[in-house]
A = this chain, B = another copy of it.
Amino acid sequence: MRTRTIVLAGFVTVAAAALALVPPPSVRADNATVAFPDGYRNWTFLHSSLVPGAFGAFSKMPCVKPCTNGIFHFYANELAMKGLRSGAYEDGAIIAEEMLEFKIGENGTGGEGRRVLAAVMVKDAGRYASTGGWGFGNFDEGSKTNTLDAKAQQACFQCHVARKDNGYVFTRYVER
């Protein structure tokens, strides 16, 4: 049996797709308040999505290094977990995402490679009022400096507006 279905849980797909559509910023951050999510590997793992190199969106917007194709893992800190369950996010809630190289072995199985980037959304209703109360960050491989300037963070937010009724959050946590 080959597991292949047409319908995906939309917002999970969109979450990864949205990141894939955001071009790498060309300038350094002018907002250093969004910090690298130290310790996120010990937070609650939410889910994974896979964006292959052949992902359709890249035909509309050619992939520029670092290309945002790979395996995406999403994590939430305790306050974000509380928000994922209630729909309301308190200041301090953080959702982290890491994009890893997706490697395919000789036998056809796939696994993880190096971390290409980490991304984050940090809730602070006052500080980030112009972007729905969320500050957005991107951290290239080996760096803890946010590469997203104010314009790039607005671009993140404009996509997340579609999830206004969900606290601007695309990701989810499935109990099982």
Contact = CB atoms under 8 A, between A and B. Distances in A.
A52 B98 contact: no
Interface stretch (A25-33, A41-49, A153-161): A41-49
A59 to B, nearest CB: 10
B1 A65 contact: yes
A75 interface: yes
Interface string A31-75: 000000000011011011111111111000001010101110101
A109 B13 contact: yes
Interface of A: 1-9, 12-13, 16-17, 41-42, 44-45, 47-57, 63, 65, 67, 69-71, 73, 75, 98, 101-113, 115, 174-176
Given A52-B109, A55-B108, 11 more contacts: A2-B53, A2-B69, A3-B53, A3-B103, A3-B113, A6-B106, A8-B106, A9-B111, A17-B107, A49-B110, A51-B110
